[in-house]
A and B are shown apart, each in its own frame.
Chain A
Amino acid sequence: MDRRHFLLAALGLPAIAAAAPWPARADDTIRLRDLYNKDLSFSGYALEREGERVSISGYMAPPLKAESHFFVLTNRPLAVCPFCETEAQWPDDILAVYCKRVIEVISFNTRIVTRGKLELGTFTDPETGFVSRVRLADAVYERA
């Protein structure tokens, strides 16, 4: 169980409505990192739950384009150093999230929980060219 998610939920912190009614059960939320082993192969959890609806917490990276149905979930807020980076470098352990509706942007440093159908395998987004290894389809999300 995600202790932080449980704690914040228990405290009744505001959860702004996502694009669709929130169907998640708090007790089955995992962290994004739980989809991967250290060598970046898929974890047992990911392999077992492929094709099922799962609930995953992380951070919404600043969207690649406006009016998108798609965002990238990261383990930690995606910090960029203007002095250190010539361009944003995506971490390897990310999750592409495809939502039912156009996304409402949540600050990149606010923890969210997203729920959708887990898909594994390489996929290139036809619109953005973004290549993902693991995705959530038909997803909804809210602040953790």
Chain B
Amino acid sequence: MKSALIASLAVAFSTGVALAQELPQKDSKWFTDAQAKIQEMVARQPNTKRAKNVILFTADGNGVGTNYAIRLFSGQQAGGLGDDYVQPQEAFPNLALVKTYTTNGQTPDSAPTASAMNTGVKSKNTMINVDESVSVSDCAGMAGHELKTFAEIVSENGKSVGVISTARITHATPAGVYAKTVNRDWEDNSRLPEGCTNQKDIAAQLIDQMKAGVIDIALGGGRGHFIPAEVTDGEGKTGKRTDGQNLIEAAQANGAQYAWSDEDFAKLTLDGSPILGLFESSHMKYEADRSGEPSLAEMTAASIKSLQSNENGFYLSIEAGRVDHANHDGNGYRTLTDGKAFADAIALADELTNDEDTLIIVTADHEHAISFNGYCGRGSPITGLCYDIDDAGVKHTEEPLKGADGKPFTVIGFLNGVGSVLKEDKQWTGSRPELTNDEAMDKDYIQQALIPMSSETHSGEDVAVMAKGPWAHLFDGVIEQNYIFHVMNYAVNAE
């Protein structure tokens, strides 16, 4: 077997070399880089070991288009033209395209997408870890339709579980790790309908799962959903609970360490004991505005260090929750700065773990109505104007391209949202404003959009999944989103 492999490698190499010798382009860097890639691919061996650890990275709303923009942004921040930049996850060996539709939504929201990845089946929009036969908000009808989560499965097998988000920890993507709810909005008891006894609110479910030993670490925002309305937190904000329960104190009474600021966070003991970190009353800050709270990379590193104390391994779900929010805001800059923070967390997780025993999966739950104009020359700033292609060179000319209205346009646009050029107080008419590159590159600039909406929407377009580690090669082709669970489950159980 082994010698046959070596023989076939030798054939492949000699074919490549023979071909190269005959071609005038053989010394081009494009050519030699691609030849090196061929050799890497031919030599690649699948990892069929059992996965001790699984890390699932989700950047909310980071579809193929948004990921493309983050790549260019990161490359341009590093001083390059952008397009040739390689994000850490883009160097992973395995990739598939993911179909994100739900049982009733051509366009998904983040609840059923998280549910698909955590249970292995698709379900209805707005619902988390409840099967598709139940209607949204039907608390009475949900009994017996709750699904078992990947966290519960691996916890039974002795693994530790962590969940991190820069959004509220009760928001849909992180809630998919630990909660079962017929409505994603039931984040605290004040949202739960009167008489609903088949489920608790999402914050209460997190604390229950921590007490049950399913969830070992939870880091994110959403403090308000854990404290009563009468209580004011360390940042002067009141809680949202109307049942008088202080769930933070309940977690602490049960032995959890608690942190609410970057200073507290730095003092946590990372020994595998339970940790609850709630760094904002609502969502954590955008990376561009971050102050007084840990970064996604810092939360990732602390969690991995603590979870690694379990010799049976761990499952860690990490969400960059606000790539989505900045897209909803139509603000390219914050979408991309949060996307770069996501990539930094991935790089650190990769560094802190071993490819031999850790399956790292990087994906998104859905895409947005973000789109890209052309024909921009290379190096056109991804948050700025689209400049003309230089026929005599590489980098764009100094000439911004213009629409038929004689006005320049940005590389990024949105199909809908607050950036609409149609204004309510002008009877939904309007025209595109004049724009300079400096204005477009301002961190608060809202890219132009078409359909007026109070919030830009998700789209049903594909997202990518990129993976490395044990059984990462099971990701290939175009897959259903719920298949991601099955790869994780196969990898941790492989003989």
Cβ of A105 to closest chain B Cβ, rounded Å: 8
The CA-CA distance from A68 to B322 in the complex, in Å, is 33
User: A33-B444, A107-B424 are known contacts. Are A79 and B291 too (CB-CB below 8 A)?
Assistant: no
The CA-CA distance from A75 to B442 in the complex, in Å, is 12
Cβ of B238 to closest chain A Cβ, rounded Å: 10
Q: Which residue from B418, B420, B439 sits with its C-beta under 8 Å from A4?
A: B439
Q: Which residue from A75, A77, A86 sits with its C-beta under 8 Å from B187?
A: A86
User: A38-B289, A107-B423 are known contacts. Are A77 and B418 too (CB-CB below 8 A)?
Assistant: yes
5 extra interchain contacts, Cβ-Cβ under 8 A, other than A40-B291, A77-B418, A86-B185? A11-B434, A76-B331, A82-B455, A109-B452, A110-B423
A 39-83 binary contact with B (CB < 8 Å = 1; else 0): 110000000000000000000000000000000000111011111
Contact yes or no, B439 A79, CB < 8 A: no
The CA-CA distance from A106 to B426 in the complex, in Å, is 10
Contact yes or no, B446 A110, CB < 8 A: no
Cβ of A80 to closest chain B Cβ, rounded Å: 5
| Residues of the A chain whose Cβ atoms lie less than 8 Å from the Cβ of B172 | 84
Number of A-B pairs, beta carbon distance below 8 Å:
73
Contact yes or no, A79 B417, CB < 8 A: yes
- Give the dominant DSSP class at B's interface: loop
B330 within 8 A of A: yes
The CA-CA distance from A11 to B433 in the complex, in Å, is 11
7 closest A-B pairs by CB = A77-B418, A81-B455, A83-B109, A39-B291, A79-B455, A86-B185, A79-B329
The CA-CA distance from A92 to B329 in the complex, in Å, is 16
The CA-CA distance from A71 to B21 in the complex, in Å, is 72
A128 within 8 A of B: no
Contact yes or no, A38 B291, CB < 8 A: yes
Contact yes or no, B458 A79, CB < 8 A: no
User: A39-B292, A76-B446, A83-B458 are known contacts. Are A3 and B436 too (CB-CB below 8 A)?
Assistant: yes
Residues in A1-41 with C-beta less than 8 Å from chain B: 3-4, 7-8, 11, 31, 33, 38-40
| Residues of the A chain whose Cβ atoms lie less than 8 Å from the Cβ of B331 | 76
B325 within 8 A of A: yes
Contact yes or no, B454 A86, CB < 8 A: no
The CA-CA distance from A119 to B282 in the complex, in Å, is 27
Contact yes or no, B456 A79, CB < 8 A: yes
Contact yes or no, A109 B420, CB < 8 A: yes
User: Closest B-chain residue to A106, C-beta based?
Assistant: B425
User: A76-B444, A77-B446 are known contacts. Are A110 and B439 too (CB-CB below 8 A)?
Assistant: no
A 80-96 binary contact with B (CB < 8 Å = 1; else 0): 11111010010000000
Cβ of A71 to closest chain B Cβ, rounded Å: 14
Contact yes or no, B444 A89, CB < 8 A: no
The CA-CA distance from A34 to B452 in the complex, in Å, is 28
Size bracket, chain B contacts: 35 or more
Contact yes or no, A108 B418, CB < 8 A: yes
Cβ of A137 to closest chain B Cβ, rounded Å: 23
Cβ of B400 to closest chain A Cβ, rounded Å: 15
User: Closest A-chain residue to B190, C-beta based?
Assistant: A86
User: Closest A-chain residue to B321, C-beta based?
Assistant: A84
The CA-CA distance from A83 to B289 in the complex, in Å, is 24
Contact yes or no, A3 B418, CB < 8 A: no
| Residues of the A chain whose Cβ atoms lie less than 8 Å from the Cβ of B456 | 79
| Residues of the A chain whose Cβ atoms lie less than 8 Å from the Cβ of B419 | 77, 109
Cβ of B233 to closest chain A Cβ, rounded Å: 14
B495 within 8 A of A: no
B145 within 8 A of A: no
What are 19 residue pairs bridging A and B, where the CB atoms are less than 8 Å apart in the complex?
A4-B439, A7-B436, A31-B444, A38-B291, A76-B329, A77-B329, A77-B330, A80-B455, A81-B325, A81-B328, A82-B455, A84-B109, A84-B171, A84-B172, A89-B283, A107-B424, A109-B420, A110-B423, A110-B425
B344 within 8 A of A: no
The CA-CA distance from A118 to B124 in the complex, in Å, is 49
| Residues of the A chain whose Cβ atoms lie less than 8 Å from the Cβ of B417 | 79
Cβ of A111 to closest chain B Cβ, rounded Å: 9
B 32-56 binary contact with A (CB < 8 Å = 1; else 0): 0000000000000000000000000
B 417-451 binary contact with A (CB < 8 Å = 1; else 0): 11110011100000001101011000010100000
The CA-CA distance from A75 to B443 in the complex, in Å, is 11
| Residues of the B chain whose Cβ atoms lie less than 8 Å from the Cβ of A109 | 418-420, 423, 446, 452
| Residues of the B chain whose Cβ atoms lie less than 8 Å from the Cβ of A86 | 185, 187, 191
The CA-CA distance from A38 to B289 in the complex, in Å, is 6
| Residues of the B chain whose Cβ atoms lie less than 8 Å from the Cβ of A106 | 425
The CA-CA distance from A77 to B458 in the complex, in Å, is 18
| Residues of the B chain whose Cβ atoms lie less than 8 Å from the Cβ of A84 | 109-110, 171-172, 324-325, 328, 455
Residues in B310-361 with C-beta less than 8 Å from chain A: 324-325, 328-331
Cβ of B367 to closest chain A Cβ, rounded Å: 14
B 351-381 binary contact with A (CB < 8 Å = 1; else 0): 0000000000000000000000000000000
User: Closest B-chain residue to A58, C-beta based?
Assistant: B444
The CA-CA distance from A4 to B419 in the complex, in Å, is 16
The CA-CA distance from A82 to B107 in the complex, in Å, is 14
The CA-CA distance from A39 to B293 in the complex, in Å, is 10
Contact yes or no, B425 A107, CB < 8 A: yes
